[in-house]
Chain A
Amino acid sequence: MNQSLGELGRFAEPSLYILVSLSGGPNHGYAIMTDVEEISGSPMGPGTLYGALARLERRGLIEALEPEDRRRPYRLTALGATTVRAQLDSLDGFIRTGLARLGGKAP
């Protein structure tokens, strides 16, 4: 069972990046933000980050851990792991198809 991120609207893409970032282990807001910027190559604003974190937490895809000082780490739940895997599999199929078609038309 997994959840669709499509219903998250403008937060769908940042949410996927956050889930991928947390696939490497629990992390807090600032670390997620810098990691996502590294993965995606574009900056993620704090409002977008926390808008997406709140939605992911609400849907049970991530969970908050006990705060460390003022930082609060988040980790992927089992549902979150299944969801991100399904999303990446779907993207993988999409990318393979796209590349194959490009390759077929290449001169």
Chain B
Amino acid sequence: MSRLVRLYPRRWRDRYEEEFLSLLEERPPTMSDRVDMIRGAVDAHLNPQEQAEPTPWTYRIPGFLALIAGAMWSAAFIAFVFWHERAWGLAGLVPISMLLMFLSLPGDYMAAHGRQIAIALGVVGLCIVVANLPYSLPTAIAGIAGYLIALGGVLTLAAIRAEIGPSGRWTLLVLAVLLPAVIGFPLALGLGDISEDKAWLLGVLLPYGFAWVFVGLRLAIRGSATLIDPPLNPIEPEARAA
């Protein structure tokens, strides 16, 4: 029941969710009511101007940033896999997409998760330093592990903002970060400096871009207050809610 209500845009739920859920408790929905709710959710997304308090366009910014970041990351690593001779030209997209990933996080959400965002940024910075040290097995392991923690952390924060539940977040982490790491670690460690003919191995990082495209789409559809919006219902940390 509440899963169907989650299909409605954030702004709509800020205004109507409580009374809507109260109504559904008084009259448990039939199958046709569920279909009607899905139609209602589609309508609320397609006609935001018809809501009592329409969702401001600024609410879409975080989602679009995440979506663009995912698309850029995916484009760069698709190029590495299929056109690796010329792909290094697109390598510049990776840091830009990482910047966009971080820029997609601030908002009313930041008040609740600012510390985690700061830690993730710090870990990324540390990894960049470690990764640029002369190659050795310990620095390679530390660099890759740090990147995984940071990339997984940032993706998790965005997934929480997109209101993806714990099981969904774990699925994303496993498919986009842990599984590629299990496959990619042994290969990457043996390479030292990744040469051009082995660049296709970087394809293991492709699912991370796809995950951001998914999270970005979801975030863009739902909307979320940015720093320039007055917070309506700041998202509380899940730990505090629990």
Contacts and interface: CB of A to CB of B under 8 A. Distances in A.
State which size class the interface on B falls in. 20 to 34
A57 B33 contact: no
A70 B16 contact: no
Interface string B26-49: 110100110111111101100000
A47 B43 contact: yes
Interface stretch (A28-36, A85-93, A95-103): A28-36
**Most chain A CB atoms below 10 A, which of B27, B35, B40, B44:** B40
Given A46-B33, A54-B16, A58-B52, A70 B38 contact: no
B162 to A, nearest CB: 23
A70 B23 CA distance: 9
A33 B27 contact: yes
B16 A50 contact: yes
Among B12, B29, B33, the most chain A Cβ lie within 10 Å of the Cβ of B33
Contacts of B33: 45-47
**Which residue, B23, B26, B29, B32, has most C-beta atoms of chain A within 10 A?**
B23
B58 interface: no
A54 B52 contact: yes
Interface of A: 28-30, 33-34, 43, 45-51, 53-55, 57-58, 64, 67, 69-72
Given A30-B23, A50-B40, A54-B16, 13 more contacts: A30-B22, A43-B32, A45-B40, A46-B23, A46-B29, A47-B37, A50-B16, A50-B20, A51-B40, A57-B52, A58-B52, A71-B19, A71-B22
